[in-house]
Amino acid sequence: MKRHFVTFYSPGTLFAETTTMEIKKWDIELAVEMSKGVIERYNAVPYGFKFTTRERKMNELDSKQVKQSCFYYLGGDVFTLKQLKELNDPHNDTLIRNMECNNWEKVVINSNSWKWTQPLEKGDVVLKKGE
């Protein structure tokens, strides 16, 4: 038995709010469309999503995750550490220090609802608005 899911991530107070839904297959366009119906606390809407596949055998009680996609951002601006430093904006000081301490090469800043910043990991995809 195998099922596919999409998990949407929305800005939360300290951590992302998540909503997971079943999906027929890993379909980016369908997931983008589904994201439009997700509203979390404080009217936060998703900044991104990822797909997972869960599977179980007939003799197993519970399923386990067997596959996971990269992260898909629903738009956003990508910045390198150098670009943020060049902006010379004191509001970015904490972000710059976090990038330096954690060796993050790039971050994504998304403002679909509330401003949310995440490190851009290798393989992650930033979809253009409207995709």
Question: CB within 8 A of 82, min separation 6: which ones?
Answer: none
Q: Where are the domains of the chain?
A: 2-73, 75-123
- Burial (CB < 10 A; 0-12, 13-18, 19+), residue 45, is middle
Model pLDDT for residues 39-53, shown as the tens digit of each residue: 999 999 999 999 999
Residues 6 or more apart in contact with residue 111 via CB below 8 angstroms: 76
Residue 2, both tokens: 């195998």
pLDDT digit string (tens) for 53-82?
Answer: 999 988 888 899 999 999 999 999 999 999
